[in-house]
Structure 1
Amino acid sequence: AQIAEDMDEEFKEAILEDVRERKEEIKDIERKAAKDFAKMFKAMGDKGVFGGGRFLADGTSPPPALTGAEERKIKQMKDKEEYLQAKSKHEMQQRIKEGKPAVERPKEPLMPTPNRPAALGFRTMERSRTVTRAQATELLNDLLDAYSEDSFQKNVHADAKTVMYEFQPFIRRLKKTAFVVQEPILAKWGFDQSEEGLQEMMVCLSDHTLKDTKLRKLADETTQMLYGGEDGMLGMEE
């Protein structure tokens, strides 16, 4: 403090002016750095560096972010599930009011499948043939390939959406959609190209699927694809 007092006023003012200039220079540098930093973060944001579940500015790593399509699909699945639950509850309440059992299971499978073929009592044609285990395996693979085609899956999902996921109307549409790909297989294996022929083919397959674990699993996979795959309508009747 004494040294500062002993300084010449002009010299002291020169030093203070120099200090002020340096402070201003530092402020300019800080402002420029802040502006450049903001530009850098904006550019990183535009490129999605902080989005898409990569990492955040604070260094944390959140779970991968869902895409718009994934979010829409999850919402659609949730809406479908809530609708079906509400519908099922309403129908159950109506049946109870009418004095009927809360749940009525169909006596006959609505859609004949290898593990749930049409019962003989519901068929009008006599059974005309059988197939070997090897033939059953090949036939199941033919059906699985046909049901797994993208075009078939697209049509099945369109059927479900058209009827607002109502099971009975869906089955009526599915029978027609499925028969388009089933008919050539019926012809290939010598079955009548009709609903009766389809039922007979399923009965022949059930001879093996109901007692062979490996074939039963293959038949289940085939049925799942018939109903639209993993997110299809299989099991919605319950």
Structure 2
Amino acid sequence: MRENIATIPLIDAFKADGECPFCHLEREAEQHAISFILGSAYMEDDIREKTDATGFCRHHFKMMYDYGNRLGNALILSTHLKKLNAELTKEMKDFSPGKSSFLKRMRKTDATDPKLPETQLGSWISQKVNSCYVCDHFRSIYGRYLDTFFDLYLKNEEFRQMFENSKGFCLPHFGDLIETAENKLNDAQKKDFYAIAFPLMQENMERLQKEVSWFVEKNDYRNKDKDWGTSADSIQRGMQKCAGGFPADETFKVKL
């Protein structure tokens, strides 16, 4: 298979033979972004301007803290907080409470109901807590990986075989793949693709179910002398299949 700068990361991700090649790509991208901003990049004005404006999500703030470089984290956070506080002050100054009503006051709060914010301040906060420099880094290249997947699937028989022999995908990335297929493929190509992708996902989801079930049974004293098979690490792989990511990864830290 002839590889180039656009295809190498995706092909390498499939060669890794994990539960989801797109999880592999996502991990590589976020570790690269963390290493970049907490390397020397946090001293560059253009990078700090971006991190000040965008901020980070809860998950990547934790990754940054665990990574190390406390001074780098402090410098990034200090100017981000300065910008955040200036914006918050303006938003609160401009805030105008909505009119109250008896029905509103009597309505029970349902924290599980995903509704849009009703206030300008609530909208601003929602935008800020869902904005992340590291997430944006992966999103900026994720679409290209999805497009490359289908380009290779349609044109390269060797890659197609890699896909057919893979372990499928995690559910979140599988969903993105299906949505992309609807836009990238014609009707005949969709029929062909789904005929491969759906059985592949079903087979591998059922495989993990069996592995996790055997993990449970293996903990029965009656099975203590039986072989673990492939179930010993099935918990983390099952979690990845359901929600993406790598639950069992060691903490990503700066190399000293």
Could you tell me the TM-score, scaled by structure 2's length?
Answer: 0.22
Which structure's relative contact order is higher, taking Cα pairs within 8 Å and 6+ residues apart? Answer: 2
Larger Rg over CA atoms: 1
